């Protein structure tokens, strides 16, 4: 059972990286050295900032504004799934955002 730098179980730290989206993602990305935790922290940042941008763009277009609640529901379900997968010890990638996260992680 691997421990994070802050004494948490690796799986717990990975799940907590999603707790408050990009905020906890940045904290765990900066404070942790564990590859598993850092992946989940980066994916949290990229995924939830990406969903925020999608919501913002949809809000700017009157015709597509009705899709905002659907994106918010998708984001909530995704948030739950990501925390569950991290608690299970899986490095599950969100389509599109997960790939970006893996590419950016070595650069940070």
Whether pLDDT at 3 is above 80:
no
Residue ranges covered by each domain of the chain = 10-98
- Measured CA to CA, the distance from residue 19 to residue 14 in angstroms comes to 10
Contacts of 50 (CB under 8 A, 6+ apart): 96, 97
CB of 18 closer than 8 Å to CB of 29: no
The per-residue pLDDT for range 30-86, each reduced to its tens digit, is 999 999 999 999 999 999 999 999 999 999 998 899 999 999 999 999 999 999 999
What pLDDT sits at residue 2?
A: 72
Judged by phi (left if over 0) then psi (alpha if -120 to 50, else beta), residue 54 lies in alpha
User: What SS3 class is residue 21?
Assistant: coil
Q: Where do the H-state alpha helices sit in the chain?
A: 10-16, 22-31, 35-60, 68-87, 97-104
Q: Please give the pLDDT value at position 62.
A: 87
The pLDDT of residue 4 is 67
């Amino acid at each position: 059972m691997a421990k994070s730098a802050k004494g948490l179980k690796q799986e717990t730290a990975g799940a907590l990286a999603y707790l408050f989206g990009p905020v906890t993602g940045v904290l765990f990305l900066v404070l942790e050295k564990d590859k598993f935790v850092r992946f989940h922290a980066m994916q949290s940042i990229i995924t939830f900032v990406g969903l925020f941008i999608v919501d913002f763009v949809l809000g700017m277009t009157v015709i597509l504004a009705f899709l905002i609640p659907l994106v918010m529901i998708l984001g909530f379900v995704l948030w739950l799934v990501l925390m569950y997968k991290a608690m299970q010890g899986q490095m599950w990638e969100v389509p599109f955002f997960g790939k970006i996260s893996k590419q950016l992680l070595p650069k940070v």
